[in-house]
Structure 1
Amino acid sequence: MAQEPDPDRLRALEARISEVKGAKAKTSDAGKNFSQGEVAWRMVIELTSGIMIGGSIGYGLDCVFSTRPIFLVVFILLGFVAGIRTVIGTARDLQERQLRAMQAQTQADKSAGTEG
């Protein structure tokens, strides 16, 4: 008859399999990064929408107060400044995400190097 498998070895194998599956799940979550083209379009849309919203508000105020170019120019400039601030915030957020991902990868490489 066949020899029964060692329960300790089976537990160790199951633990190792779950560890590898967990590592793959973590890397698949980290793979949700945006491509550079997507990030560029996001920034363009943020900047453009700031200008458009500012221009709309300025045009509306000019129509209400009958002062044609004054509010339009002021609010277009304010919309541009708001768009730039939003783009800078997005860039900072993406940089922090990339830094965290690099640190996690370095930490994983170090732990994999000590196991082997």
Structure 2
Amino acid sequence: MGHQVSDPDPKRKLEELEIRLARLRAARQPEKPHQQDYHSQAQLAWRMVTEMVAGLAIGFGIGFGLDTLLGSTPWLMVTFTVLGIVAGIRVMMRSAAELQADYVPPEDAGDLQDDDAFEADEDEGNGYGDGNARR
């Protein structure tokens, strides 16, 4: 019998493989918070755009209304439109400052988990059970 089996217990090898797969799956889990983070950033971006457009529209509306009442076209409309833009920018900057104050930088936990899984694989050997490298 020239064929020799390197590991007499294939069930043990299967269990080891399942453990390694579970570790790799656990290392890949942080995908959901990243997507939630992306959606919250998109919501904040829309909030800032809305604040800017609202400031512009309100300033334009007030200026246009006063110009119509006072007959001073277009000076009050231009003045209040510029004031509306400035107000919108200030509100946007305040929102950005709040976002920056609440920001917690993400830890590189995913990278560390991948490194730990790699080191665990090295400790267990090459997976061939005979301690020799694949040729």
Tell me which interval the TM-score lies in, with the shorter structure as reference length: 0.5 to 0.7
Unaligned runs of 5+ in 2: 1-35, 108-135
CA distance in 2, matches of 1:78, 1:32: 33
Structure number with greater CO (CA < 8 Å, separation at least 6) is 2
CA distance in 2, matches of 1:32, 1:40: 12
**Percent identical:** 41
Q: Does 1:45 align with 2:50?
A: yes
Q: Does 1:80 align with 2:85?
A: yes
Unaligned runs of 5+ in 1: 1-30, 106-116
More helix by share: 1
CA distance in 1, matches of 2:88, 2:82: 10
Q: Does 1:95 align with 2:114?
A: no
1:32 shift after superposition: 9.1
Structure label with greater radius of gyration: 2
1:37 shift after superposition: 0.9
1:36 shift after superposition: 1.4
- 2:126 equivalent in structure 1: none
CA RMSD of aligned residues (A): 2.3
1:45 shift after superposition: 0.1
Residue correspondences, number: 72
Match for residue 71 of structure 2 among 54, 66, 80: 66
Large movers: runs of 4+ above 4 Å = 31-34
Q: Normalising to structure 2: TM-score of the pair?
A: 0.48
CA distance in 1, matches of 2:67, 2:91: 26
Q: Which amino acid counterpart does residue 48 of structure 1 have in structure 2?
A: V
